[in-house]
Structure 1
């Protein structure tokens, strides 16, 4: 191969689209999909991938949330399963790996926790939720077809849509989620609508039942699929997780995506896709064709973890801790009465959110850079939306920090915001 330093400059440029040449030789270009890979293959926005060695208060938004007891139980199950695997002859299956009882365990767990109605054969295992997104798009959507996307939304899902060769059509939301009348203005010719009705960004509120039923009715009338991304719904401070949209669907229109990866990172790398009964064969064929794979040992351990009730026990402990951290963060932020920030409601999730009154996304990003330079990791909300908003804001992850650390970090955060306003002259309407 040609050493990297010998490639012409345009070939070394990330996302470059021109034909490249070396001497008198003309090198072929990647196909359009290959060029899109360089732009849209990331699940996390660029801000989340910045160097972190200097960070003292890490309000990481996409952190894993396991605790000492859950890790002990996980590795106890893992050691027991590994000992059994030592006596099992190695085998290679040309069709698909044997995952034991994990599909049955996931189906039972989702029915208990989320009201999902499915047989084990409808559960398709993948390593990440991005794989699930891409699988849905490959099977159900042609490039350049219309894909509707709730706004705000998952950055990874938006990138998956663009990677597939479609431009997402953002749909406005209010405090109860998608506004069905506004959906009706934009869904002509749509093939797929993506939403997270059980966890509305950034507040964690959920879409009321009447609006969910109206959304299902609209999808049936127009003839498009609904991709339900069940993200962060387990982390609910009051009450129980909200019933899934899939559990209300009698027409086989909803595909339900979730993941276990954030609970015990780096173990397990397991996500799932629940497909309607009449689509299970085509998705199994896609699964085999693309060679999707989850480690059978991890699948066996996860099945035991789910069936033993340890997952529900872990989530109860976790949500009690998260509620205390949420309360501490909101109390500390409310103390900044002299600053132009507005707290969003916070009913679930691993973060708190506040907007800077009247500030543009560019100014909030400049503020986030100043905060980051002071050793505090904080994340602008701009990557999670496409529609214009009157006020941009910031996300603070609370999962990995203790209450005292949260309070100290937010106290220093207030100092940075005050200094930024004094230096840059940004007031309440800047």
Structure 2
């Protein structure tokens, strides 16, 4: 008797939990990966189209597309024009060399990851494996279509012809000296930060700056303050080095210093985003800034100021940085070009007190020697020839208009069903409903409409207790903003 072939996989049995903290595309991705590994989804079996699966599961099409793209990148799926997406005939585990695939005996092998890797692995889901086109209202995304690529191309072409031959061998680990001078001059004029070029450490974005800070300023067991809710990747970088995080609440004036002193009076450092708090988008008041600086001096603690979008204040002139009014040398300042120019640049910088320069430059050398010389030299010309300042002025005007369009669209589409703060700075808005049930409805409607967002809860140490959705507007024009808000509202009120 011929054995009947097993029944095809039933995709409508996949479970999507909209109340879980894990993003929907990660849930779908992990379930499909497990089904392939277990053999329930067989090699060569065809998957539904993104449109078909999103209809079956009642989720957004871009959620399905993101899961498919990740599994394609990992080798679990393959796609051909005209034949759709299928399970790969040869899975990644099958193509691995046998010497790697063979499991070592736990009694004899000492190979393996260090204990710290267990801490790092907790944050694996935060690291994106694929880059997708942003949809309204993805946060953290500038208007890359407005970047003057023609000017950058011209500068890059000129630089590749004129870059001194010696720089092909490398540069100072702290950064290309002319770029450090250009950054110091810009900070003095625009952000009020008086510093020398020698105090500038060029990094591969803010995240590498946080990694250097964790390595050099925090020993295992040291405590640190971080705003609650706050920028979780800073928490990740510090706790991965064995430090102990203390979430400190934020109010309308910024981090609550008095609450921090009650929770942990003498941490090694405090990480803050005073110009535009992430994610609450409040600006730290001057009295609160002075209180924080005084506390740092009395407690012998460092303040880490992340000024990620301090240039984008729309109602008035950008405020001076915290480092500009620091009389004690307690502030280490972080800046980035990834948010103000384009994320793929991966160039940022630290401003460190002079006694720390040697240690930070040496640690930068140990990490990866230095950032690419060519990009540093091109950016130097972009700044020194005035293109950077002109681009910032243009973007400040554009983002102000897009922020106003966002406020109008949300108010017009949702009325009193949605609450949001009309902040005067930053590139995002935090929105929420009146109660937890309505908040869940907002999230479901956004998923169904294909609206991208981050949950405030993702950046909170108290999971499930901090309502709100973070909505970015910088990358989208007024029409895209209005249409996305209306599509979202249509599903919310349906």
* Shared fold per TM-score greater than 0.5: yes
CA distance in structure 2 between the partners assigned to 1:50 and 1:267 by the alignment: 13
Aligned residue for 1:222? 299
Question: Could you tell me which residue of structure 1 aligns to residue 246 of structure 2?
Answer: 169
Report whether the alignment pairs 1:381 with 2:456: yes
Per mean C-alpha deviation after superposition, the further-off stretch among 101-110 and 68-77 is 68-77
How many Å separate the matches in 2 of 1:203 and 1:39?
A: 25
Deviations 1:26-85 (A, max 9, x none): 45331121222222367xx47x879968x8x43111213345462222222111111213
| Contact kept in structure 1, 2:231 and 2:459, CA below 8 Å | yes
**Cα distance in structure 1, aligned partners of 2:172 and 2:415:** 63
Equivalent residue for 1:17? none
**Matches of 2:174 and 2:428 in 1, distance apart?**
37
**1:39 match:** 122
Identify the structure with bigger relative contact order (alpha carbons < 8 Å, sequence gap 6+). Answer: 1
1:127 alignment partner, one of 204, 224, 230: 204
**Structure 2 residue 137 is the aligned partner of structure 1 residue 62:** no
Unaligned stretches of 5+ residues in structure 1: 13-19, 420-430
SS of the aligned residue for 2:150 comes to helix
The separation in 2 between residues aligned to 1:90 and 1:201, in whole angstroms, is 38
**Partner residue of 2:318 out of 241, 245, 249:** 241
Higher Rg: 2
Give, in angstroms, the shift of residue 396 of structure 1: 1.6
Equivalent runs, 1:351-366 vs 2, <5 Å: 351-359=428-436, 364=439
Cα distance in 1 for residues equivalent to 2:324 and 2:131? 42
Cross-structure match for 2:474: 399
Structure 2, unmatched stretches of 5+, are 1-91
Q: Against the structure 1 CA distance between its residues 293 and 307, is the aligned structure 2 distance closer, same or farther, given a 3 Å change threshold? A: same
| C-alpha contact 1:40 1:163 (8 A) present in aligned 2 | no
Alpha-carbon separation, structure 2, partners of 1:148 and 1:58? 32
The residue that corresponds to 1:200 in the other structure is 277
Q: Deviations over 1:280-325 (max 9, x none)?
A: 1221221222234211111111112222222221111112111111
From the superposition, tell whether residues 340 and 266 of structure 1 become closer, same or farther in structure 2 (CA, over 3 Å): closer
Cα RMSD, aligned residues only: 2.9
The TM-score, its normalising length taken from structure 2, stands at 0.74
Q: 1:287 to 1:89 in 2, by over 3 A?
A: closer
More helix per residue? 2
Point out the more displaced range, 94-103 or 169-178.
94-103
SS of 1:250 mapped into structure 2: coil
Q: Secondary structure of 2:277's partner?
A: coil
- Which secondary structure state, in structure 2, belongs to the residue aligned with residue 172 of structure 1? strand
User: 1:326 pairs with 376, 382, 403, which one?
Assistant: 403
> 1: CA distance between counterparts of 2:343 and 2:273?
24
SS at match of 1:353: strand
Which moves more between the two structures, 123-132 or 344-353?
344-353
